Structures are given as C-alpha cells and as structure tokens.
Amino acid sequence: MKILLSCPPMLGQVELFKPIFEAHGLELICPDFVQTLSEEELCALLPEMDGWIIGDDPATFKVLEAGKQGQLKAVVKWGVGVDNVDFDACKQLGLPVSNTPGMFGEEVADVALSYIIGLARQTFLIDRGVRADGWPKPAGMSLPGKKLGLIGFGDIGRSIAKRCLAFGLDLTIWDPYANPSTEDQQKYTFAAYPEGIEHMDFLVASCALTPETKHMVNASVFEQAKEGVRVVNVSRGGIIDEQALMQALDSGKVHSAGLDVFETEPLPADAPIRNYERCILGTHNGSNTVDAVIRASHQAIRLLFGFLDIELKEEAFL
C-alpha cells in the first residue's frame, strides 16, 4: 500500500513517522512542495495511493473522484480545520474521512497571545527599529482591564480565553454554538456577534471557516468597531475580509493586526498587506510545535490505519 502525505508540519518531522509506516509494510510518498499541492498534481498522484493524509490541499470532488477511480480507499485531514475538504464528496464516493480535532488548542492559543502582547506593546516595531540601527520606544498598552472580543469558543477559543483571563483582560465571547458552563458564564460575557464591538480593544478570530463565517469580519464590522482596535486572526484567512482590513488600517480604525493566516497561502510576494508596517505576519504556523505535530500525526496515522483495516503495532509509535 502507498500513502500520500501532503501535510507540511508532518513532513517537517517525517523521519519520526517513516518507521511507523515501514513497520506496517506501507510506502510513504512525500512530494516536494511549499504549502499545498494543486488539483492537477493531486489528480495525477492519488489514483496510485491507498490512503492520503491531507494538509491544506484542495480535497475537492474532482480530486477525490480521481483518487477513488484508482486505488484510494480512505483519507484523513491532519489538524482541525476542514474547510478545504469536501466531506459530502467523501460520503458520495464512499471514502472514509476524519480530521484530528482537539489537538492544538494550547499551541494556537500561545501564538494568539503572542500576537496580542506584540500588538499591545508594539514589540514588532521595536525589533524592526533596532535592526535598522534605531532605538524606538513606542508607548504601549497595558492589558489589565482592556476588552477583548473573541470569535469562537471551541478548543482553541477556550484556550485563548483562559490565557487572556490570566492577563486581566475582560472577554466577550461570540459563538452561537457555545455551550458555556456556569463557571464560563461567571468568567466571560456571551453575546450575539458583533454585539459590543464598539467597546473592544482587541478582536480575535478563532473559529472555523464555513459559508456562515466567511468574511464575518468585514467593512460593516470595522465601521462599528472602536477606534484603534487591534485585530488578531489565528483561524482561517477567509474569516477576515482583507481588503476591508487594509482600508481600516489606512483610516486608523484598526491600529494594528497580527495575522497568522491569509485568504491566499503562501502569501503572494505582491500582496498589499505586506506593506503595512503595523502588522505582524505569520505563516499559518500556530499549531507547529514538535510536541503537537507528533501528537496530531500519531492520531492521523491511527485513524487512517483504522480505515484501511491495518492492525496497529503500538510498539512502532514509541
């Protein structure tokens, strides 16, 4: 059996995982690419594969059908987000599919907090100034008592909220699907989005990208927002309308932004957002720690092996 691996974080530590596949008599196929494979590349590769561990690639009906017409028997989406995977197509084609939820809450929350602190204290501008032989001392913002609006209260959102609470921030949670406990209700304010946006010093996105959430942070929301709000996105680029964000940065409505994700990834060399000095730009890398990648990769392998009826040799995971 052949298994296609197209998940960059897992590929970054692939030598840790090759022995697991070898111990089960499987051949691991590891293409050379940056962020994602194209539909054309996938359509050429997948018919010869028995399984596929998906990164952020376009797992469309066209791609999955091409695989199914060949040897493809099952797929697993590495990580939490599934907006790039056509689950309906998997069902229609009879391809078992799953993602690996609950793997990265703490790790992504750490990155979100680093952006929040970075924007509050403008450490990114200080770093750039020192590298340019300067000695800048911008006046920062103290966090205790400031208001933060959090979009999404899943595993990642809860982890962000826990950290922000420890820093003395006053949180409003926007998530129609949240099921807050009594303790949660005592700690946070739960509201319908974007209620209270005019009071928020920070706006943080940590929700899944769906048709419902696409561009939910848009020009209308920025118009209602507090002057000088700081924006952080550690979910999916499509949650924020980037054109509206840039206009809000131009007007000063948005003071600065920390973006780990973008609507197009990798970020094009000519992307206008690159020119905004008051932005911290990431590489969709929030979940990428050695520990988290091993944890999620082992889960992805176990799920895929289960779909393929491969008897696990647990000693291979040690």
Which are the catalytic amino acids?
236, 265, 284
How long a stretch of residues is the chain? 318
Could you tell me which residues come within 8 angstroms of residue 89 by beta carbon, excluding any fewer than 6 positions away?
59, 60, 61, 64, 65, 95
Peptide bond into 272 cis (omega under 30): no
Q: CA torsion sign, 262 to 268 to 272 to 274?
A: positive
- Two structure tokens written together for 69: 């017409």
Q: CA torsion sign, 150 to 151 to 157 to 160?
A: negative
* Cα-to-chain-centroid distance, residue 63: 23
Could you tell me which residues come within 8 angstroms of residue 298 by beta carbon, excluding any fewer than 6 positions away?
317
Dist CA 201 CA 149 (whole Å): 8
Dist CA 76 CA 110 (whole Å): 26
Strand stretches in 139-179, DSSP E: 147-151, 170-174
Q: Where are the alpha helices (DSSP H) in 85-216?
A: 87-93, 105-121, 123-131, 155-166, 182-187
